[in-house]
Chain A
Amino acid sequence: MVTALAFGIACAGATTASAETSQTLEAVKKAGAVKCGANGQLAGFSTVDSAGKWTGLDVDFCRAVAAAVFGDASKAELVPMTSQQRFPAIQSGEIQLLTHTVTATLTREASVGMLFAKPLFYDGQAFMVKKSLNVTSAKELDGASVCVKPGTVTEQNIADFARANGIKLEPVVIEQQQQVVEAFLNDRCVVFTDDSTALASVRSEQGTPDDFVILPEVLSKEPLSPGVRADDPRWFMIVDWVREGLVAAEELGVTQANVDEMKKSQDPAVQRLLGISGDLGSLLGLGNDWMYNAIKSVGNYGDIYERNVGKTSPLKQERGLNEQWKKGGLMYANPLI
């Protein structure tokens, strides 16, 4: 056991950091990897195939942060976890970044002790039923059983929805993603509820996606945001600004494909973003080429979206709320100056 412990304990050593540097950043650099907690079973956001290869929007964001810190996206280490495990994991420092399609809420920031970066994905909770039921509105679902994952805002939303509409819904709470889907497919529940994109993800994985209908009611606002522990504001800044950088890159037309050419761009905003001028990266305690590395590895926000959940992906999601602000969406990057 002593040997097992010796293998297992990676002592990060003395943590005497001044207010200027991020403790978490130091620990991450020392360990040589950014550890991100992710779902691992949700196509489009984070899945892991049988060879252990991770893909998805959450995964790409984790890689972007790793690239910004190390200049190497492969330094992202993804840890699969259930929704139960994610908060204790971030509280304890087992992971440094939570990319687990977490909805940012007040209670979570205040009570769990986290800070959420700006959303990576604006979503809303919806209901999915089998087409054969001929249901067109969630309000017709009085008495239905609803499959739902535990410990999620989702669980509270259905209780609120039922109360507001004077109907009864019976939750069937099952922990593992795959198992809750199985229960729904097997008719254990009439309804499956989750964020609508997650529902689309489940639907896309079935052989016959047309057998399922996602009902039009949107129960809630679900800003799915990367989260970090509240005690390290400098680390929060890094995560938050990587997200801003990815959105800004799309606005400025810097893509994974053209990022090398764009280095020669005369646009001062592009120059600052890619670290040709200014010292944005070093202000965060990173290399000045932080965003260049991130974009080179995973692309800008639009690239990430299209690859994982967009029209070309199996999920086939419109940009909707996640479109750039200039095109009517909510993706608006604060200025990188």
Chain B
Amino acid sequence: MTIQKIENIREVETTRTVGIWWNRRFRASIQQVIVILCLVAVVWFFASNAAVNIDRQKLNFGFDFLWREAGFGIGESLVAYSSQNSFAWAFVVGLANTVGVSLGALILTTVIGFAVGIGSLSMNTAVRRVCLTYVAMFRNVPLLLQLYLWYSIATGLLPAPAGAWNFLGIYVSRVGVYLPVVTFSPTPISALTSLAVAGAVSLGVWWFILQRNLSLMVVLSAAAIAAVAWIATMLVAGDAVIDLPVWQKFRFNGGMKFSPEFCALLLGLSVYTASFVAEIVRAGIVAVKKGQKEAAQALGLTSGQTMRYVVVPQAARVIIPPLTSQYLNLVKNSSLGVAIGYPDFVSIGNTTLNITGRAIECVAIMMAVYLALSLTISALMNIYNKKMALRTR
């Protein structure tokens, strides 16, 4: 309050002695007005040119084209699509593909990144060297180059589909990776019996856990066991079948398909981003003072407990903010899928741009959607970050 008063007095004084030009507030507002004017001038310059150019070339401007029939096919999509759908729906398909590959890559990145990051602090020199080499190798080569390389390998070095590699019904070849899937056609009786079996199994496991006071990971594995039990019962009852991929003349029929474009993008994105995540994890763990670990051990905590209750919560506070920006980078980098033919959002935008000739609109849509996606992710991570920060204090 007093400082504010002194400021005010000083301002009045300066105004009186050297005139309004040296008044701080006045200068601040003048500067701001100038910035606004410049901004308006730049926007006006671009907008008026665009208007003139569009008018002179008799181009149409607007987003009405979105509701027209797209007329082009999309190779793979997570949501139903046919060429009779609208451009707008094609965009949705592209967005779903982008989100799909990003989610997959996020999980894979986290797994590889944490493993390599922790490994790079291993007591074992060999493990440490390997992890550090991994990081140096993959973070110093452009992602696009890595994607081209992965894609060339996926379509050039893997066997032709007729001679696909086969492990347990998983087929790996130049046309992609095909997994067997279980398809269900339950009757009421089989559904009930199998649910009962699964329930019994999970109850058993649950009781087992309660007895020994085990952690969350075990609960999760119990759930997995129950799911397997349920599927097994269904299979025995004959109400579920394993759908094996089978190579026919031109393609695999049945099974679940991951195209080479998807696989190359998923792998490339994960391997590349993981090298950054590893560094972040490493730095986060190093940031936890040595004394903390020693104190924990002195208190008789096992090394696992030390990690879980002492190191990880503290490291997490250091790790999460940069990790967020790596996740954001990953989502943005998934747009490079366009270079290897993955039908992501940018790829669909490009095709639409070319069919309709609406360059401004299509690029604007691309930018707006990515911006929205980025803002959403950083908002979510902020919430998580706040939660972590509260719990550890």
Within the assembled complex, what's the spacing in Å between the Cα atoms of A163 and B355? Answer: 19
Cross-chain contact B251 with A186 (CB below 8 angstroms): no
Of the candidates B156, B174, B357, which one forms a contact with A108 in the assembled complex, judged by CB atoms under 8 Å apart?
Answer: B357
Please encode chain A, from 221 to 232, with 1 for each CB lying within 8 Å of some chain B CB and 0 for all others. Answer: 000000001110
**Cβ of B356 < 8 Å from any Cβ of A?**
yes
Cross-chain contact A175 with B339 (CB below 8 angstroms): yes
Cross-chain contact B355 with A170 (CB below 8 angstroms): no
Of the candidates A112, A160, A171, A173, which one forms a contact with B357 in the assembled complex, judged by CB atoms under 8 Å apart?
Answer: A112
Of the candidates B56, B174, B347, which one forms a contact with A150 in the assembled complex, judged by CB atoms under 8 Å apart?
Answer: B347
Within the assembled complex, what's the spacing in Å between the Cα atoms of A181 and B201? Answer: 54
Complex contacts, A179 vs chain B, CB 8 Å? 340-341
Cross-chain contact B341 with A175 (CB below 8 angstroms): yes
Within the assembled complex, what's the spacing in Å between the Cα atoms of A86 and B341? Answer: 19
Within the assembled complex, what's the spacing in Å between the Cα atoms of A159 and B90? Answer: 14
Within the assembled complex, what's the spacing in Å between the Cα atoms of A54 and B338? Answer: 28
Complex contacts, B245 vs chain A, CB 8 Å? none
Given that A84-B350, A91-B59, A188-B175 are known contacts, is A173 also in contact with B75, CB under 8 Å in the complex?
yes
Cross-chain contact B357 with A113 (CB below 8 angstroms): yes
Cross-chain contact B347 with A173 (CB below 8 angstroms): yes
**Cβ of B74 < 8 Å from any Cβ of A?**
yes
Please encode chain A, from 172 to 189, with 1 for each CB lying within 8 Å of some chain B CB and 0 for all others. Answer: 111100011011001110
Nearest neighbor of B71 in chain A, beta-carbon distance: A156
Q: Which of A107, A108, A144, A171 has the most CB of B within 10 A?
A: A171
**Cβ of B185 < 8 Å from any Cβ of A?**
no
**Cβ of A27 < 8 Å from any Cβ of B?**
no
Please encode chain B, from 327 to 362, with 1 for each CB lying within 8 Å of some chain A CB and 0 for all others. Answer: 000000000001111010001001101111111000
Nearest neighbor of A140 in chain B, beta-carbon distance: B249
Within the assembled complex, what's the spacing in Å between the Cα atoms of A180 and B341? Answer: 9
Which residues of B in the span 298-332 have a Cβ within 8 Å of any Cβ on A? none
Given that A150-B347, A150-B350, A187-B175 are known contacts, is A143 also in contact with B338, CB under 8 Å in the complex?
no
**Cβ of A111 < 8 Å from any Cβ of B?**
yes
Cross-chain contact B359 with A88 (CB below 8 angstroms): yes
Complex contacts, A107 vs chain B, CB 8 Å? 355-357
Cross-chain contact B74 with A171 (CB below 8 angstroms): yes
Cross-chain contact A229 with B83 (CB below 8 angstroms): no
Of the candidates B57, B65, B73, B161, which one forms a contact with A158 in the assembled complex, judged by CB atoms under 8 Å apart?
Answer: B73
Cross-chain contact A113 with B57 (CB below 8 angstroms): yes
**Cβ of A127 < 8 Å from any Cβ of B?**
no
**Cβ of A216 < 8 Å from any Cβ of B?**
no
Please encode chain B, from 14 to 30, with 1 for each CB lying within 8 Å of some chain A CB and 0 for all others. Answer: 00000000000000000
Within the assembled complex, what's the spacing in Å between the Cα atoms of A92 and B353? Answer: 14
**Cβ of B215 < 8 Å from any Cβ of A?**
no
Q: Which residues of B are interface residues toward A (Cβ below 8 A)?
A: 53, 56-60, 65, 71-76, 83, 152, 155-156, 160-161, 174-175, 248-251, 253, 259-261, 338-341, 343, 347, 350-351, 353-359
Known: A155-B73, A187-B160. 6 other contacts (CB 8 A): A143-B253, A145-B250, A155-B355, A156-B71, A159-B73, A175-B350
30 inter-chain pairs at a CB distance below 8 angstroms, sorted by A residue, are A84-B353, A84-B354, A87-B353, A91-B53, A92-B53, A107-B356, A111-B65, A111-B358, A113-B58, A113-B59, A143-B251, A144-B251, A151-B350, A151-B355, A155-B72, A155-B355, A156-B71, A170-B75, A171-B74, A171-B75, A172-B261, A172-B341, A173-B74, A173-B341, A175-B341, A186-B174, A187-B161, A187-B175, A229-B57, A230-B58
Q: Which residues of A are interface residues toward B (Cβ below 8 A)?
A: 83-84, 87-88, 91-92, 107-108, 111-113, 133, 141-145, 150-152, 155-156, 158-160, 162-163, 169-175, 179-180, 182-183, 186-188, 190, 229-231
